[in-house]
Each structure stands twice: as structure tokens, then as C-alpha cells.
Amino acid sequence: MHLIKKHTKGTQMQGIKVARPHDFKRMTSSKRTVTRAYGGILTGSEVRDRIMRAFLIEEFRVFKNMSKAGGEKKDKKKKNKKKAAPVKK
């Protein structure tokens, strides 16, 4: 699974004032950022995509481990049945 890196360029985000760098320094912090994870760096949709991507990666990892463990159990059962058959006399 490919991880796409994308960052918002400039201040084209909702809730953040547009200003020159010197004016931006003098603003209050509430006008410079947004109160959420990755406040002044990523937009809301980018944060949502990032959370979804992390969730899906974790789900794929769990699914892979479950399917791998399930396959090993089936193989062990088949081996035990094959060994049990020749014991009959």
C-alpha cells in the first residue's frame, strides 16, 4: 500500500488568517492555528485521510496475521490426520 505525502501549501485553510510572515508573527495564536490535530499544517480533509490510511494499514496487518495463523492451523490438522491413518491394523 502506497503512502501518499501531501501538505497544504500556503494558508488556504479554513480558520487561518492570510498575512505576511511578519504580521503573522504578531497575530494571536488562535488566529494562526486551528484547534485540531495538525492544526496549522494539514487541512481537515487531509487529517481525515491520514487517520483513515492509518486505520486501513492496521486492519490489513491484522487480517494478514489472522489469515497466516489460520493457514498454519489447517496444515497442522491435515498432518495429524495423515499420521493417524497408518496406525490402524
Q: Tell me: the pLDDT tens digits for 28-65?
A: 888 888 888 888 788 888 888 889 999 999 999 999 99
CA torsion 33→38→41→46, rounded to 10°? -120
My answer on whether 56 and 73 are in the same domain is yes
Residue 74 forms part of a structural domain: yes
Residue 15 forms part of a structural domain: yes
Whether residue 21 contacts residue 36, with contact meaning beta carbons closer than 8 Å, is answered with no
Residue 46 to residue 42: CA distance in whole angstroms: 6
Q: Is the pTM of this model over 0.75?
A: no
Residue 27 forms part of a structural domain: yes
Residue 59 to residue 25: CA distance in whole angstroms: 42
Q: Which three cell numbers stand for residue 2?
A: 502506497
My answer on whether 32 and 54 are in the same domain is no
DSSP state of 35: S
Residue 63 forms part of a structural domain: yes
Range of 72's domain? 42-83
Question: Total domain count for the chain?
Answer: 2
My answer on whether 15 and 25 are in the same domain is yes
My answer on whether 49 and 32 are in the same domain is no
